[in-house]
């Protein structure tokens, strides 16, 4: 509960800072609507409910503190706030571009360019760092380690951005694992043309900082996660948390003349939908059941659901996953782990063998088959699998630990980044 309480407190701070930061920038009536949308829209629910998304919350709080400082003429403190935001999550790297847009719209003083330039340098340094870390960290799922190339990711993001904008207006279809497929190039180009058309229309309002200005601001804040830096997850609802600053202000300005009799039910509806999303996040089973229902052709939600339910229910779920993607080793590997946990190593060996046939160079699959062989008392065959796994990936922790359990002396290669707990497991007698 403590983790979720902290996330909720950070969201409340974000709401307060959104109100403060927008004060000098939008009329009071629009500011109230924008802050309410930022607070209540279902897009925000995943970031608050997902403990892993703490970094996104922190980055947004700190960017809003930077914006509040900047609009009050405290430019160097704004630099410090932004630098702290980068340390929380590099996804906020486009924030200086938004401030530059704001500076141009206000025809700001040239002396303001020095702190702004320092923000750009910090953002560039953070971007270079995240690319290097993503490249050097196995399984990072980003940059060079992503399952897609930069070009493929860029083609897909036009479709993803239009999906985000549709859900902004029609707040339905939220899921922890959306089924986004890589589109044909023609569809991807058409989607980006649609985004460009919306942006081109909005540009006419940049100078007077009306709704179009804030629409462009939302797109700018979204670009680090929806442009050319690839990630294995093609879309994630939590990536909209920071851009909602711009999009909420845009909607607030569009609705400033709307009667409260219409607005209040809309805000109540948004809050109700956020509560529905929060209830979905209450248990792993409800979360992944929802994900399976909304992406019935996707394998990963079924694997996650299988991990959330008892083994007897997990096996038919994984069988369905194998039928959906017969060439994907993940479902077979997971089913093998279920059988191993049930004390049925012969059936586990069959599934691990299937996974290994589909991905023969995967050290995890080799280690898993070795574990099944070890459970069947085939010690030499198990040892051969563990050693082969380490020959492919010298830092494969489970294979190294399993060798230790076999009585084989193991050492820790200097390039391996094990946790303190893992080191203790490998070194204790």
Confidence of residue 365 (pLDDT cuts 50, 70, 90): very high
Q: What is the pLDDT of residues 59-69, one digit of tens each?
A: 999 999 999 99
| pLDDT above 90 for 139 | no
Residue 161 near residue 195 (C-beta atoms within 8 A): yes
Cα–Cα distance between 385 and 307 in angstroms, integer?
Answer: 25
Q: What is the pLDDT of residues 184-218, one digit of tens each?
A: 999 999 999 999 999 999 988 776 668 999 999 99
Cα–Cα distance between 381 and 401 in angstroms, integer?
Answer: 16
pLDDT of the residue at 227: 95
Cα–Cα distance between 267 and 262 in angstroms, integer?
Answer: 9
pLDDT of the residue at 260: 87
Confidence of residue 117 (pLDDT cuts 50, 70, 90): very high
Average pLDDT score over the chain: 95
Helix, coil or strand: residue 142: strand
Q: Which two tokens stand for residue 13?
A: 């701070």
CATH classification number, 327-427, choose in 1.10.3720.10, 1.25.40.10, 1.10.1040.10, 3.30.70.100: 1.25.40.10
Domain spans, the chain: 2-282, 327-427
| pLDDT above 80 for 178 | yes
Helix, coil or strand: residue 262: helix
Query: 104: how many CB neighbours lie within 10 A of its CB?
Result: 11
Contacts of 60 (CB under 8 A, 6+ apart): 14, 85, 92, 241, 242, 245
Q: Which two tokens stand for residue 44?
A: 């925000």
Please give the distance of CA 269 from its chain centroid, rounded to a whole number.
Answer: 26
- The phi, psi pair for 193, rounded to 5°, reads -65, -40
Cα–Cα distance between 366 and 392 in angstroms, integer?
Answer: 10
Cα–Cα distance between 159 and 180 in angstroms, integer?
Answer: 9
Bigger pLDDT: 204 vs 167 = 167
Residue 176 near residue 46 (C-beta atoms within 8 A): yes
CA distances from 35 to 30, 73, 112, 253, 264 (A): 8, 22, 27, 11, 13
Contacts of 23 (CB under 8 A, 6+ apart): 31, 71
How much is the pTM?
Answer: 0.92
Contacts of 296 (CB under 8 A, 6+ apart): none
Confidence of residue 242 (pLDDT cuts 50, 70, 90): very high
Quick one: average pLDDT of 268-296? 97
- Looking up tokens 């956020």 gives 274
């Amino acid at each position: 509960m403590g983790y979720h309480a902290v996330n909720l407190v950070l969201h409340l701070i974000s709401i307060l800072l959104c109100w403060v930061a927008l004060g000098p920038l939008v009329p009071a009536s629009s500011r109230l609507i924008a802050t309410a949308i930022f607070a209540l829209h279902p897009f925000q629910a995943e970031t608050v409910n997902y403990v892993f998304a703490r970094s996104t919350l922190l980055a947004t709080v700190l960017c809003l503190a930077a914006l509040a400082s900047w609009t009050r003429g405290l430019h160097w403190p704004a630099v410090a706030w932004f630098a702290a935001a980068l340390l929380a999550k590099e996804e906020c790297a486009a924030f200086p571009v938004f401030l530059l847009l704001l500076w141009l719209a206000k025809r700001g003083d040239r002396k303001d360019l020095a702190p702004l330039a320092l923000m750009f340098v910090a953002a560039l340094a953070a971007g270079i760092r995240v690319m290097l870390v993503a490249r050097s960290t196995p399984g990072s799922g980003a940059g060079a380690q992503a399952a897609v190339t930069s070009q493929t990711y860029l083609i897909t993001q036009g479709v993803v951005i239009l999906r985000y904008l549709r859900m902004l207006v029609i707040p339905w279809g939220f899921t922890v694992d959306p089924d986004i497929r890589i589109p044909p190039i023609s569809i991807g180009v058409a989607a980006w043309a649609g985004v460009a058309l919306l942006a081109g229309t909005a540009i006419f309002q940049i100078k007077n900082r009306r709704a179009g200005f804030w629409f462009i601001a939302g797109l700018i804040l979204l670009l680090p996660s929806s442009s050319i830096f690839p990630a294995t997850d093609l879309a994630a609802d939590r990536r909209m948390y920071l851009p909602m600053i711009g999009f909420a202000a845009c909607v607030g300005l569009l609705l400033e003349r709307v009667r409260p009799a219409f607005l209040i039910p809309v805000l109540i509806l948004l809050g109700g939908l956020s509560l529905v999303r929060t209830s979905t996040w209450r248990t792993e089973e409800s979360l992944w059941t929802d994900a399976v229902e909304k992406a019935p052709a996707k394998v990963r939600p079924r694997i996650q659901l299988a991990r959330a339910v008892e083994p007897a229910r997990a096996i038919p779920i994984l069988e369905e996953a194998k039928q959906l993607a017969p060439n994907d080793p993940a479902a077979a590997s997971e089913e093998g782990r279920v059988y191993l946990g049930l004390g049925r190593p012969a059936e586990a060996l069959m599934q691990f063998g299937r996974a290994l046939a589909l991905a023969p160079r995967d050290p995890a699959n080799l280690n898993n088959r070795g574990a099944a062989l070890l459970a069947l008392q085939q010690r030499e065959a198990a040892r051969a699998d563990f050693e082969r796994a380490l020959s492919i990936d010298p830092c494969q922790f489970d294979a190294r630990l399993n060798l230790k359990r076999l009585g084989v002396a193991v050492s820790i290669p200097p390039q391996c980044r094990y946790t303190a707990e893992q080191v203790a497991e490998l070194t204790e007698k």
